[in-house]
Amino acid sequence: MARLSVLIADDDPVIRAGLTAILREAEDIEVIAQAADGREALSFARRYAPDVILLDVRMPGVDGISALPHLVQLAPVLMLTYSQEAEIVREALLLGAGGYLVHGEFTTDELLRAVRDVPVGRPHFTPTAASALLAELRASSHPQRDVSQSTERLNNSVVFGLSSREGEIMDLIASGMNNQQIASTCFISEKTVKNHINRIFAKLQSATRSEAIARWLGTARPGVSGHG
């Protein structure tokens, strides 16, 4: 049986070694090269023609995003990184990445499945990356509606006395994000998110997320039950 050849590109030698050890346990996968930056990844990809490239985002010299449009011309690329910002996920996908896995959000079996699936066009995303992609799709699908909603929510901020940051966080709550995802999106700690939410709930006179969302989106107002 022909084995899938994999090129790993990550500046952390510990991560490279760990990924190599995991992948080599699979009989149908072979790690053919390890690169420490984007430039080295391009060189190895041209030399070895791998079936899959596992690519980190932040690397010295030529980073993963800079190398990505060149690498996808040579082989399917699966992003494998700690970077979970929505803008990075979106850019990587627009540049041709076939999937996006965030360290700490996948098991060994999920990694092996992703490596096998990406070359045949089946993308894989861990939860943080999937949430970022979903938010982007929602925004791009309804641009006109988003403008009117932004105006309405600005008015809501005034009505309910929310700060601009609280309004932003309430929008993210309404989109379905949990506290961890909101913290990642806003580049703040989960503790800070919780503090904001406590103040938001007090101003919206709400005890639960669903009640706060109902009032924020205009389906209920203070003093009116959020049920029904």
- The pLDDT assigned to 222 comes to 43
- The pLDDT assigned to 147 comes to 47
More confident residue, 141 or 111: 111
- The pLDDT assigned to 91 comes to 87
- The pLDDT assigned to 139 comes to 67
- The whole-angstrom separation of Cα 6 and Cα 53 is 6
* 163 pLDDT higher than 60: yes
Task: Compute the mean pLDDT over every residue in the chain, rounded to the nearest whole number.
Answer: 85
Alpha helical stretches, state H, 28-141: 38-48, 64-71, 86-94, 108-117, 127-141
* 195 pLDDT higher than 50: yes
Q: What's the pLDDT tens digit per position in 45-74?
A: 999 999 999 999 999 888 999 999 999 999
* 117 pLDDT higher than 60: yes
Please compute the mean of the pLDDT values over residues 78-84 and round it to a whole number. Answer: 91
* 16 pLDDT higher than 70: yes
